A and B are shown apart, each in its own frame.
Chain A
Amino acid sequence: MPDVLVLVDHDGERVHKSTYELLRAARRLGDPAAVVVGTPGTAARLRDALARHGARRVYAAESTEADEFLGTPAVDALERAVLDLAAEAASPAAVLVSATTAGTEVAGRLAARLDAGLLIDAVDLDPSGVATQIVFGGSCTVRSQVTHGIPVIALRPGSFEPEEHPVEAAELQLTLPPVDPAASARVTARRAAVAGDRPELTEAAVVVSGGRGVGGADGFKVVEELADALGGAVGASRAAVDAGYYPHRYQVGQTGKSVSPQLYIALGISGAIQHLAGMQTSRTIVAVNKDPEAPVLDLADYGVVGDLFAVAPRLTREVAARRSTG
């Protein structure tokens, strides 16, 4: 079986769930080979977790400056791994990365260097290498295939369910070229998103979003409380973000995040086409809006015409009560 290179998302100590999803997808195409880019010692810390999810090889692409530059070390590492394998006449079947903001850019840069076909934001992957993408704001499903070069595929987080598949993993060293500071962006400060105990927006099974109807930053407490009762993430419409009610990184929609949770609850959101573009592939959609004409009610599985400040807190209490009684 050919190798399938998987770029590992991690925080230095733990492997992110999105990587386990990639490893599962990779097993459809061949033997997963995980590429860990980080400071020295990172791969050794992550190896067991990666092997438990099917990584037969763990490449350690380590250097003291690996965390200091945006993207470049990851692109260099993947390019090096591809070229090393090609030199052994064992070109990888594909390179898989997570379709996060950073992952998508790594994929684009790698494909440009390798002159290779690139498929972004795939939600499924066949053993034959055909990837499924949902395009045009959820209105169309497209299945595509790479016809030139080594397929570089960015998989949307949450598209695959992680599955343990314990194997023995060999650790291999991958020498990173020194970073050219004139061709790289240096990260001089980092403020991690304070998600608190909430799940990542794009990975959450439940997303509760607030719109302009929430009326202000204080009003978002109602949204957060319902999200917390359901163990979900908080999202926001662009109008809510533009008005300063909630930070930009929580924006759902065409120019925000695409989410596809089991349950999406829209509170005080009218349902403009650009908002729907980011959430209409959700399994179940619930909307609370006081305007019976709001377009979001036309696609909600459960639509409530009413005041969100009456309905949402009541729902929160009911859910909390249900949770506490088991």
Chain B
Amino acid sequence: MNIVVLVKQVPDTGAERTLSEADHTLDRESADPVLDEINERAAEEALTLKETVGADVTVVSMGPDSALDAVRKVLAMGADRGIHISDDRLRGADVVTTARVLAAAVRTVDDVDLVLAGDATTDGQAGAVPAAVADLLRLPPLTHARELTVDAGRVRVERETESGETTLDAPLPALVSVTEKINEPRYPSFKGIMAAKKKPVRTVGLDDLFPDADTAGHLVTRTRVVEAVPRPARAAGIRVTDDGSAGRRLAEYLIAQKLV
């Protein structure tokens, strides 16, 4: 089967994140870019399927030059080929543009059976891109999977969200987004890292993906930030060391604050 994995590079979450002064987009230069952790798990699912049922795995990432590192990492884990979508005009792309571009990239891969994605990224935390990609490709969206089974041309998913658990079923081709609980991703081996250097990566831009579009007319975002203000950092308040009375004193504090 043919699998496409959508991966995104995000600023390392351990680091502080800021918005650029100029245009209120995420200041990516100031943070260490890494492959989003949940995306490693999407890749792991693809590679597990490659081992169990046989699959050709294409990894797709849209992002600046550095996003090539994210593609290479998944190739080093074992994916077969990569597509890096890079175009200066995509800076600041919103969910709709991101989904359109990713959908167009998926269409360039022949006979796709399964598209895998993370359920949400740790930078934007939108969690809307995979469902939108599926909608644009008219694929069933089996999102927030903590378990995935592919069998006899169908895909089944155990979906877990705040409102409970559901079992989802659909025919292939389909799109599945995975939660961080689905698996433990493998580390690329040294051999894998060396092999990845020779694997084919195609770099494409908007004009390659949308050859018929009016070149000037690419809409990148449909929203505008009118104001961005850092929130004041929280400061420590009262601090007590428990001498046996802290539970009672804490209760008194909560009562005084009218929280009880």
| Cα distance, A310 to B227, chains bound together (Å) | 46
Q: How far is the CB of A311 from chain B (nearest CB, A)?
A: 5
**Contact, CB under 8 Å: A148 / B222:** yes
Q: Are B131 and A108 in contact (CB under 8 A)?
A: yes
With both chains docked as a complex, state the minimum distance between the C-beta of A265 and any C-beta of chain B, in angstroms.
9
A277: nearest residue on chain B (CB-CB)? B13
Docked complex Cα distance between A116 and B128 (Å): 14
> Is A111 at the interface (CB under 8 A from chain B)?
yes
CB-based contact B167/A101 at 8 Å: no
For B247, the chain A residues whose CB sits under 8 A away are 310-315, 317-318
Chain A residues near B226 (CB-CB < 8 A): 130, 143-145
* B contact residues around A190 at 8 Å (CB): 164-167
Residue numbers in A under 8 Å from B164 (CB-CB): 190-193, 249
- Please report the C-alpha to C-alpha distance between residue A104 and residue B160 in the assembled complex, in whole angstroms: 15
Closest Cβ neighbor of B247 among chain A residues = A314
Contact B222 A115 (CB under 8 A): yes
Q: Does B236 contact A (CB under 8 A)?
A: yes
In the bound complex, what is the Cα–Cα distance between A116 and B144 (angstroms)? 24
Which residues of chain A have C-beta atoms less than 8 A from B224's C-beta? Answer: 144-145, 147
B238 and A105 contact, CB distance less than 8 A:
no
User: Which of these binds chain A: B73-81, B92-100, B107-115, B203-211?
Assistant: B92-100
Query: Closest Cβ of chain B: how far from A283's Cβ, in Å?
Result: 9
Given contacts A297-B239, A311-B246, A319-B254, A136 and B120 within 8 Å (CB-CB)? no
Q: How far is the CA of A75 from the CA of B259 in the complex (A)?
A: 40
Choice from B138, B161, B240, B257 contacting A180 with Cβ under 8 Å: B138
With A142-B24, A145-B223, A184-B140 as given contacts, are A193 and B126 in contact (CB-CB < 8 Å)? no
Query: A152-181 interface mask toward B, CB cutoff 8 Å, 1 = contact, 0 = none?
Result: 000000000000000000000000000011
Residues of B within 8 A of A257 (CB): 162
B235, closest chain A residue (CB): A299
* A137: chain B residues within 8 A (beta carbon): 17
Closest to B158 in A: A189
How many whole Å from B220's CB to the nearest CB in chain A? Answer: 10
Name B211-246 residues within 8 Å CB distance of A.
219, 221-231, 233-242, 244, 246
Q: How many A-B residue pairs have CB under 8 A?
A: 278
Sample (28) of A-B pairs whose CB atoms are under 8 Å apart = A105-B143, A108-B135, A109-B141, A111-B222, A112-B96, A120-B95, A138-B231, A139-B17, A142-B19, A143-B228, A144-B223, A147-B222, A147-B224, A149-B222, A182-B140, A284-B257, A288-B246, A300-B237, A303-B237, A304-B241, A304-B246, A305-B242, A306-B242, A314-B246, A314-B247, A315-B247, A319-B254, A323-B260
The interface centre, meaning the residue of B167, B221, B230, B234 with most chain A CB atoms within 10 A of its CB, is B234
Please indicate which of the listed interface residues B142, B143, B225, B260 has the most CB atoms of chain A within 10 Å of its own CB: B260
User: Is B52 part of the binding interface, using a Cβ–Cβ cutoff of 8 Å?
Assistant: no
Contact residues of B with A, CB < 8 Å? 13-14, 16-19, 24, 37-38, 94-96, 99-100, 120, 122, 125-129, 131-132, 134-136, 138-144, 146, 156-157, 159-171, 174, 179-181, 219, 221-231, 233-242, 244, 246-248, 250-251, 253-255, 257, 259-260
Residues of A that sit less than 8 Å from B by CB? 70-71, 75, 100-102, 104-109, 111-113, 115-121, 130, 134-149, 180-193, 200-202, 206, 230, 241, 248-249, 254-255, 257, 262-263, 273-274, 277, 280-281, 284-286, 288, 292, 297-307, 310-315, 317-319, 322-323
Q: How far is the CA of A189 from the CA of B169 in the complex (A)?
A: 10
Q: A101-B127, A182-B138, A302-B238 are in contact. List 10 more A-B contacts (CB 8 A).
A: A112-B99, A143-B227, A143-B228, A147-B223, A186-B168, A201-B162, A241-B181, A285-B234, A298-B236, A305-B241
Closest to B155 in A: A185
Residues of A with C-beta under 8 A to B95: 108, 111-112, 118, 120
Interface contact A185-B169, CB-CB below 8 Å? yes
CB nearest neighbor in B for A108: B128
A184 proximity list for chain B (CB < 8 A): 140, 170
Question: Which residues of chain A come closer than 8 Å to B238, judged between CB atoms?
Answer: 301-303
Q: In the complex, what residues of A have CB within 8 A of residue B166's CB?
A: 70, 187, 189-191
B250 contacts which of A116, A120, A135, A304 (Cβ < 8 Å)? A304
